[in-house]
Structure 1
Amino acid sequence: MTKSLSEFSSYQPRVIKLLTNSIRKDRLAHAYLFEGKKGTGKREVGVLLAKSFFCENLQNYEPCDNCRNCKRIESGNHPDVHVVEPDGLSIKKGQIQALQEEFSKSGVESNKKLYMIVHADKMTVNAANSLLKFLEEPNANTIAILITEQYHKILNTILSRCQLLSFQPLQPKAIEQTLTDSGIAPPIASLVAQLTNDTEAAFNLSKDDWFAQARLKVIKLYEVLTTRKGQAPLYIHTEWMNYFNDKEKQETGLDLLLYIYKDVLSVQLGNDEHVIYQDIIQQIKQHALQITQRSVTEKVTSILEAKKRLHANVNPQLLMEQLVLTLQEG
């Protein structure tokens, strides 16, 4: 089930404050444009706004989630709530015309109607012009929600008729909390939250067996680098290259390694609560005592440099062998 508006306020405080104030004062705009990166909650907030608009037992500004309207909106079956999504690669004029035709009829159960256009930037020019006519003559009881990840592609004439709400990228802690609340193990959740600010992508990654194994292989490399230094090149040859066998996986491996060395730095700076690899924090603390801050910073820089060189098409095995030789110094 979708989070409540109050739960969303910790992720998107500005957006939720504006919407809840409008709901309280019964001053919802006739058209909104929700813009922001993928995974920032635009569609979920759109569904919550629809529930608030139709809820039979609205409490303060929160929909009840139990009435017939809330339940049908949650399941996508409310007759007066319409969602338009791209048909193939674009939203076509016919789709907007069908929507207009639907809205020319009176509401099935009340005089209220709400429509949501997902990926509004994918409207064809003709579709956008059809929508423009619709927005120019708003019905008092109609709400439009346009959703986009590419705000700059929306016609200025449409922008000028919508209230713009910008959704900010989610903070890692917010994503981590969402994942752990859903039963994802904390060590995986904290790491995944650093790699993406898209909640959906974070869920997919956290349930990916390849990723879980990759994390263990990176920890193993770190152990080899700190306790059996001479064996690191052999580990790269026998285990690393077989597992991280394409450029995308190699980059992920470098990112995971980078976060361990950043954790060492966090411990040295007294920020234990910022450590991502909490399950190996004792090992990290021990290492932090044996190495200077400057040396850790140099190792972080060398991993970042390796990432750059990976994109410059340097031989990956040679790159990793050189990197581990650098990392095992000091």
Structure 2
Amino acid sequence: MKTWSDIAKVQPLASKVIINSMKKGRVSHAYLLQGERGTGKEAIARLIAKGLFCEDKQGVEPCHTCNACKRIDSRNHPDVHWIEPEGQSIKIEQIKNLQKEFTYSGVESNQKVYIIVGADTLTLNAANRILKFLEEPSKKTTAIMLTENSQAIIPTIRSRCQVIDLQPLNPSHFQQQLIDAGVQEKSAKLLSSLTNNFDEAIAWNEDEWFATARKLMVQLVEVFADQPDDAYLFIHNHWVTNFKERKEQEQGLDLLLLAFKDILYFHIGNEDRLIVFTPGDERLEKLGMYFSQEKLVDILHHLLQAKQKLKQNVNPTLVMEQLTLQIQR
């Protein structure tokens, strides 16, 4: 999604609100863009920034080819500042550095923009510090805050922003986009259940690590059913060594969620909703005989708890060990 026309196709309401503001010359001093991954938050943030700096706009549509537009795309524009989490959070030192930058005049104009990616990860001190910008906005300063978890944004920040809700993308439409790009239908179905980001889905589809992750996910589910006493060893010998980074660990749990949901769908006769397995798969029938509906609901609950623990920075190996014991019970 590179133009407002692209955004309008998937986020018609959000694009209409922002475009109308731009036409009237009333760009908000602070936006909070909230929506799932892949719904266009960063694309919208870039377009707002381009709209303020573009040297050759056509109406509200930036040219995308001028020096300013190119530098915004490459994150090298001196008056457009990007703030992203360092580790698991955005720290107060990052906000202090931003404040220092804003004490200087704009390099090429008096306009300044700062874009905070993952605004829900602001530490409490950092969030309180950012309030100074929001409470005393300069006419030439625009804040754009992006979040997947709007509930984690403190109320004092929310109340000072124009909140833009982004709607989830249509999974079937996204799945067809992937198929049109050459992704096999089964893989497209799986990828569209894990992400709404086209570039990310294509990268995963071509990544050997992701192919290995899919195999390990199915193998682990089968180990739980066929050799439950070996599950703990499988976690340490195969799972932990493959899922090393936090994003990979979260993705591993997402894959397990899809697999166990498939077994539950098999139980209740919703085989048209299968993602990991296919109707008539002997492995699915065998897993359906081993796991009861009651047990599957319990496992899905524990998987969601495990995902939450990862977000709370609990040791990932400990999370998987606990999950394994819970599934074995």
TM-score norm. by structure 2 comes to: 0.66
Check whether the contact 1:205–1:211 (CA below 8 A) recurs between aligned residues: no
Contact 2:30 2:161 in 1 (8 A): yes
Per-residue deviation, residues 86-118 of structure 1 (Å, max 9, x unmatched):
233332333222222222222111221111112
Q: Which moved more, 1:94-103 or 1:114-123?
A: 94-103
Could you tell me how far apart the structure 1 residues matched to 2:292 and 2:2 are? 38
Moved more, 67-76 or 147-156: 147-156
Deviation string 1:28-68 (CA, Å, 9 cap, x unpaired) is 10110112223322122211221122111212222211111
Deviation at 1:70, TM superposition (A): 0.7
Counterpart of 2:3 in structure 1 is: 4
Local SS of the residue matching 2:10: coil
**Corresponding position of 1:49:** 48
Distance 2:161 2:82 in 1: 17
In the TM superposition, what is the alpha-carbon distance from 1:13 to its structure 2 partner? 1.9
SS across alignment from 2:164: strand
Match of 2:13 in 1: 14
Q: Alignment partner of 2:142: what SS?
A: strand
Partner residue in 2 for 1:23? 22
- Aligned AA (2:132): K
For residues 213 and 126 of structure 2, the distance between their equivalents in structure 1, rounded to whole angstroms, comes to 41
| Alpha-carbon shift at residue 314 of structure 1 (Å) | 5.7
Closer, same or farther: CA 129–23 of 1 in aligned 2, 3 Å? same
Instruction: Compute the displacement of 1:172 (Å).
Output: 0.3
In the alignment, which residue of structure 2 is the partner of 1:209?
A: 211
Closer, same or farther in 2 for the Cα pair 1:257/1:27, shift >3 Å? same
Tell me if 1:308 matches 2:310: no
Which residue is 2:160 aligned to? 161
Instruction: Give the AA of the match of 2:140.
Output: N
User: Counterparts of 1:13 and 1:262 in 2: how far apart (Å)?
Assistant: 36
Cα offset for 1:73?
0.6
Q: CA deviation at 1:209?
A: 2.2
Q: Does the CA contact (< 8 Å) of 2:90 and 2:121 recur in 1?
A: yes
- CA distance in 2 between partners of 1:88 and 1:96 (Å): 15
Give 1:137's aligned amino acid.
Answer: E
Q: Distance in 2 between matches of 1:9 and 1:158?
A: 27
1:1-330 equivalences in 2 (<5 Å): 2-180=1-179, 182-197=181-196, 202-203=201-202, 205-207=204-206, 208-210=210-212, 251-255=257-261, 307-308=296-297, 310=299, 313=326
- For 2:52 and 2:269, the matched residues in 1 are separated by 46
Give the AA of the match of 2:211.
D
Aligned residue pair count: 275
What is the match of residue 283 of structure 2? none
Q: Which has the larger radius of gyration?
A: 1
Matched letter for residue 27 of structure 1: R
Q: Aligned pair in 2 of structure 1 residues 259, 193: CA closer, same or farther (>3 Å)?
A: farther
Amino acid aligned to 1:114: V
Taking a change above 3 Å as real, the CA distance of residues 181 and 142 of structure 1, as seen in their structure-2 partners, is: farther
Letter in 1 for 2:172: K
Q: Which SS does the other structure have where 1:9 is aligned?
A: helix
- Letter of the structure 1 residue corresponding to residue 164 of structure 2: L
Give the whole-Å Cα distance in 2 for the aligned partners of 1:63 and 1:105.
Answer: 26
Structure 1 residues 181 and 162, CA gap change in structure 2 (3 angstroms) = farther
Q: Which runs of 5+ in 1 are unaligned?
A: 218-235, 267-273, 288-298, 317-330
Letter in 2 for 1:308: V
Percent pairwise identity: 40
Which has the higher mean CA deviation after the structures are superposed, 14-23 or 249-258? 249-258
Secondary structure of 2:5 counterpart: helix
CA distance in 1, matches of 2:128, 2:194: 39
The 8 Å contact of residues 263 and 275 in structure 1, kept in 2 or not, is answered as: no
Distance 1:123 1:196, change over 3 A: closer
**Structure 1 counterpart of 2:13, one-letter code:** R
Does the 8 A contact of 2:264 with 2:296 survive in 1? no
Q: CA RMSD in A?
A: 4.2
